Amino acid sequence: MPVHVNSDDASTQLPEIQGYRLLRLINHGGMSTVYLGEQLALSREVAIKVMMPQALADEVSRRRFENEVRTIARLEHPNVVRIHELGRTRDGLPFYTMPYLSRGHLGQRKFVDEQGIPDEAKVRETAHALFAALEYAHSRGVVHRDVKAENVLFDEAERPLLADFGIALRRGFGPRVTAAGMAVGSTAYMAPEQARGEEVDGRADLYSLGVVIWEMLTGQLPFRAADALSMAVMHAQDPIPKLPPHLRHWQRFMNRALAKNPDQRFQDVTQMRGAMDAIRPRRQFPQLMRVTAALRKKRVARALAVAAVASAIAVTVGTSVGLFDRSSDGEFFRADTQPASPAVSPAVTVRADPTEAMLEPLPEAPLQRTLERARAQLEQRKLTAPEGDNAYATALEAWHADSTNPEVQQVIAAVTDAIAEELVRNLGEGNDTRARDYYMRAQNLARQTGGTGAGALTRLQERTTQTLQARMEDAVERFDRKAAQRTARVAKDFGLPAAVTRRFTAQAEEIPRQGQTMPGDPARGVFREGEDGAIVIGRRPVDRGDYGRFVEATRRASSLCRERVSPLRMLAPRDWKSPGFEQGASDPVVCVSMADAEAYARWYSAQTGHRYRVPTASEARQVASDISGRNVSLWLRDCGRTCVQRQVGGPSWRSKQLMRPLDADRGYDDVGFRLVREL
């Protein structure tokens, strides 16, 4: 790890700060200078951090910095270095004071011995302290932005403390750059998005902490470059290096901790800490590792090196076989001792040949068991339930075990496709709440796995859009305004493009409301919602012109028009063409029977592609008729005393009765009909 040598140059001019006596320079960086000083009122040593003029070039940036320091000063945690006081030097430069921790920083400590073997227990202990500090800060909206070895200090109890929140930001403030345009932070530890000057969140701190853990494990940084710009480029573009063989059990953790894309990293401290705690150290052979390292270091002759290594291997393996020579269940090798044969010296123990045991199939890996469990849950359609036994949760478990495994990615895609099927089915059946739950699960699965299964998620979105479009078309066709409005609202919850949701909303608004006149209806029909669905009740009766086209097309014979008994009228019978009084083409047709009216409704339905019929009495009462010329009554579907008779509704020029039964097989010169369109 790099060691920073503190300057004690007595000739360095120390700033003047009221209430403090500055003793010497401790450290100097591009943004600030740290001094050892004495707080006169309390006679205690403190570290005083004075910001450089170029770091805060104007009064606005200085005041903003001071406001941020006040926020940081509120952090009270055992693993966070406290801020005592905030102020300005005599020259007007902002400063703040902290406890002086004389036991140095993490960069001055070694976690790796001469043979390159790290003290993993100490690494984990230190990492846990930093996890606790960052979790506390993040929960209060503070992002550190400069997590590095030099900012991890140790107190007298050897407790690690995270320091230098001075460039930290509360979330929501956006990126900060220096006057020279360089992103704030140390590029050796800096997340790619932070180096680009983008807005960052706590995941940038977790990236930097990953670099610190790498450094503790290996004794060096994952990327090394000659200058800060080259270092930042390596973090942004170069693949994550491979750890040495004896640290391969950390590789999967590092691949996620140092992922270039924040969405593919650990999303919070809890995830990262849990993943580290799940790392199980591999069985090591320290004696073999140390002999090999010593031989490599001394560069002895090849033959001697091979002999020494072989000797060490023999000793180690012999010891291992002895360790595993036990009768308990789960043993590695079972090497039963055989009785000595007469030809063998009694001092020699003969062991069974372990070849057969070595050729036995290896136990199934935990990841494979997880994948098989997920596939079984998919077959059983246990997608998101029951809790703890569903494909969604198991797929996430597999991804956390090995996010780069192709089989894991295939399972995630399969889970997403299965969720899409259930989502579409529920959307089609109108179970919007359940469908919304499936949609959120699919989105969360993609988010938590860093976009794994993106193709399946795209297919889900396409199928969702198609299903909602079909729902809207059906609602429009049925003139179901409520269903159309519900579909338009649901579309917003399922991520449909804004243009589609706007179109849905417009289509819903075009459907007439209860009691509105149907646009474009020749009978000026009124929209109504009945028990059996929506209908349009025509205001205008069928006129002579329309009925004439029906007769011409169907060759239907005219019904006898029943009149009052009169010798003259019996000698000159009437029909719809000659009802006994003058009528124009737009006047209501009369002298038609109920059978004529029903026949016309069937013909007109075939001509228009819609469903028409004669209204019932209750439907007719909802909408008054609009009759030109002589007032006429209108046929209704309701039976009279028997169904040989049908009711006619409304007064006519012959009768003032509102409802009367008439024989349905005859026409009347004061009775016409109107139609209802079923939607």
Averaged pLDDT, groups of 10, the chain, 679 residues long: 40 81 86 90 92 80 83 87 91 91 90 89 95 92 90 92 66 38 64 89 95 95 86 88 92 95 94 93 53 45 40 38 36 36 44 45 68 94 90 90 86 92 92 91 84 81 92 86 90 88 91 77 75 83 95 94 59 85 93 96 93 93 87 94 91 94 94 92
Q: How are beta strands 667-668 and 561-562 bridged, if at all?
A: parallel
Q: How are beta strands 671-672 and 676-678 bridged, if at all?
A: unpaired
Report the DSSP beta bridge partners of residue 649: 634, 659
**Alpha-carbon distance 479 to 521, whole Å?**
14
In eight-state DSSP terms, residue 521 is -
* Residue 484: CB atoms within 10 Å: 24
Enter the tokens of residue 631: 């007032």
Q: Say which of 8, 9, 119, 146 is annotated catalytic.
A: 146
3-state secondary structure of 527: strand
Which phi-psi region, left, alpha or beta, contains residue 555 (left: φ > 0; alpha: ψ -120 to 50)? left
Q: 348 burial class (0-12, 13-18, 19+ CB within 10 angstroms)? A: exposed
Cβ proximity of 621 and 633 under 8 Å? no
Residue among 507, 530, 527 nearest 517 (CA): 527
The pLDDT value recorded for residue 340 is 41
Residue among 379, 487, 495, 375 nearest 443 (CA): 495
- Give the chain's largest Cα–Cα span: 147
**Alpha-carbon distance 536 to 675, whole Å?**
9
The pLDDT value recorded for residue 199 is 86
Q: How are beta strands 32-39 and 44-51 bridged, if at all?
A: antiparallel
In eight-state DSSP terms, residue 497 is -
Residue among 236, 145, 210 nearest 183 (CA): 145
3-state secondary structure of 349: coil
Structural domains of the chain, with CATH: 20-99 (3.30.200.20), 106-277 (1.10.510.10), 366-510 (no CATH), 526-678 (3.90.1580.10)
The pLDDT value recorded for residue 569 is 56
Q: What pTM does this model have? A: 0.44
The pLDDT value recorded for residue 219 is 93
Look up residue 323 and give its amino acid: L
Residue among 152, 104, 146 nearest 125 (CA): 152
List, in order, residues 6 or more apart from 541 with CB less than 8 Å away.
Answer: 588, 589, 625, 627, 632, 634, 672, 673, 674
The CB-side HSE value for 383 (13 A sphere, CA atoms) comes to 21
**Alpha-carbon distance 185 to 176, whole Å?**
10
Q: How are beta strands 152-154 and 160-162 bridged, if at all?
A: antiparallel
Radius of gyration of the chain (CA): 44
The question of whether 146 is a catalytic residue gets the answer: yes
**Alpha-carbon distance 633 to 548, whole Å?**
20
The pLDDT value recorded for residue 530 is 65
Q: How are beta strands 645-649 and 659-663 bridged, if at all?
A: antiparallel
DSSP letter string, 617-665:
HHHHHHS-----SS--EEEEEEE-SSTTEEEEES--SS---SEEEEETT
**Alpha-carbon distance 629 to 590, whole Å?**
12
List, in order, residues 6 or more apart from 151 with CB less than 8 Å away.
Answer: 105, 144, 162, 163, 164
Cβ proximity of 94 and 166 under 8 Å? no
Look up residue 181 and give its amino acid: G
